[in-house]
Amino acid sequence: MATIQWFPGHMAKAIRQLEENLHVVDIVFELVDARIPQSSRNPEIERIIKEKPHLVIMTKSDLADPEQTKNWIKKFKAQGLPAIAVDSKANITTKTVTRISQSILAEKLDNEHQKGLKERPIRAITVGIPNVGKSTLLNRLVNKRAAQVGDRPGVTKGQQWLRSSSKLQLLDTPGILWPKFDDEETGQALALTGAIKDQRFASDDVALYALKFFRQYYPEELQKRYKLTEDDFELSDVDLLLKLTKQFGMKDDYERASDRLILDIRKGKLGRYTLNRTDGVADE
């Protein structure tokens, strides 16, 4: 996938499209990466979707630290935001998403029922930054049948509703949000998980960030994977990276070694991890 360059014009257009689509849905599924529930959020989202019911779906939870995921769900709830964690590859995901959507919208659906309106499926749109897992979740929810259930007035031309079940249908075009990375740590967290591929983030900087992070939060995984000794843990991050470079048989090519370390982490070779720690997030 080509890197998306976000220019103000792109952003404005994406927001406009999303705002149009909001008129035809009952609920917004905001996708965030469970490993970086804060860094993968676009801070504008709440302002854009306003009063529309809103469910935070933490994707890739199979890669995230389960304890942290639980805490994140609590944190979102404390902010008045219902949140769930999913693995989009798992079958159960469709049922989970449908059930929680029904419970969030229970009052609205009940009211419609009281008024004698016919039962109808919940209409939803997925939104999120590139690579957060929008297409994967959509495919899971529509079970690849990608059933088109016809045009509806107000839907941007060319868009279709995809049927998930008799209870849920989704717009086929997700809303794309841009990541915001004006502080270094957010940028590095996005780069380490593969959310952004941007030359502004040099591999060795990302690798050093990763080493520092894993030494602090998951030292055993780091030790196991690279057979580190106690002395290795006394080294500076830079010296540890140089040691790993030699260990990988890459002489002094620490950039290549950085790429290897980053790939190992993305693939989960160092276990499940959450980069945005709940203990570091201020309660709101």
Ligand X SMILES: Nc1nc2c(ncn2[C@@H]2O[C@H](COP(=O)(O)OP(=O)(O)O)[C@@H](O)[C@H]2O)c(=O)[nH]1
Residues in the site for Mg ion, rule: CB under 5 A?
A: 134-135
Q: Which listed residue (22, 53, 62, 212) binds ligand X by CB under 6 A? A: 62
47's tokens = 């302002």
Which residue, 194 or 223, is less far from ligand X as judged by CB?
194
DSSP-based three-state secondary structure for 233 = helix
103's tokens = 């419970």
Residues 122-141 that bind ligand X (CB under 6 A): 128, 130-136
Which residue, 84 or 109, is less far from ligand X as judged by CB?
84
Q: Is 186 annotated as a binding residue?
A: no
Residues 148-187, one symbol each (x = binds ligand X by CB under 6 A, - = not), give: ----------------------------------------
Q: Is 224 annotated as a binding residue?
A: no
Which does residue 89 touch among ligand X, Mg ion, none (CB within 5 to 8 A, set by kind)?
ligand X
User: What is the phi/psi pair of residue 7, to 5°?
Assistant: -105, 155
Q: Pairing mode, if any, of strands 175-176 and 27-33?
A: unpaired
38's tokens = 């804060």
In the complex, what is the shortest distance from the CB of residue 135 to Mg ion, in angstroms, rounded to a whole number? 3
Total Cβ atoms within 10 A of residue 137? 24
Q: Is 136 annotated as a binding residue?
A: yes
Which does residue 136 touch among ligand X, Mg ion, none (CB within 5 to 8 A, set by kind)?
ligand X
| 88 part of the interface to ligand X, by CB under 6 A | yes
State how far the Cα of 130 lies from the Cα of 59, in Å rounded to an integer: 13
Question: In whole angstroms, how far apart are CA 59 and each of 84, 145, 179, 186, 225?
Answer: 9, 21, 16, 18, 25
How many residues line the site for ligand X (CB under 6 A)?
A: 15
- Among candidate residues 212, 216, 124, the one with its CA nearest the CA of residue 171: 124
185's tokens = 């740590």
Residues within the interface to ligand X (CB under 6 A): 59-60, 62-63, 87-89, 128, 130-136
